[in-house]
Amino acid sequence: MTEVRPITAIDARTVRHPVLREGLPPESAILDRDDDPTTFHLGAYDGERLVAVATFFPEECPGRPGRRAWRLRGMATLREARGRGAGRALVERGLRVAREDAAGLVWCQARVTARGFYEKLGFAAEGDPFELPRTGRHYVMIKEL
């Protein structure tokens, strides 16, 4: 059973780095909004082991100006923990917090390989895939709340 708990930005980087920035320096896993007071980080635990992380913060969605929105970034699950519900649990908790904050949508830039994961959670791809430096092809994924 997965337990979701608030974590620190430093904790998030311990999973984010090997999953999303493998082969890059550790500081590459630091996101520009990690320490913003409106940002919150969630961790999924298998027992006492942190196996998945996600970061959420309020940020307007490109192409949807004027809508209250939250952004999901740095979503990462250790390879050996995938497919067991940790990622789903993190996203569901983040969606709940966004709804409580009266957000109209949650969005992210998802790797092409993660599109199916997000679609199962009710997100829809918007536009064509695009390239992000160092991390590859992505879609903007949006979930209306």
What tens digit of pLDDT does each residue of 27-64 get? 999 999 999 999 999 999 999 999 999 999 999 999 89
Q: Which residues pair with 46 in a beta bridge?
A: 2, 49
- What is the set of domains in the chain, with CATH numbers? 2-144 (3.40.630.30)
∠ at Cα 102 (130, 36), nearest 5°?
65
What tens digit of pLDDT does each residue of 65-112 get? 999 999 999 999 999 999 999 999 999 999 999 999 999 999 999 999
The whole-angstrom separation of Cα 11 and Cα 13 is: 5
The whole-angstrom separation of Cα 68 and Cα 51 is: 30
Start-to-end C-alpha separation, the chain: 26
What is this structure's pTM? 0.94
The one-letter code for the residue type at 108 is: C
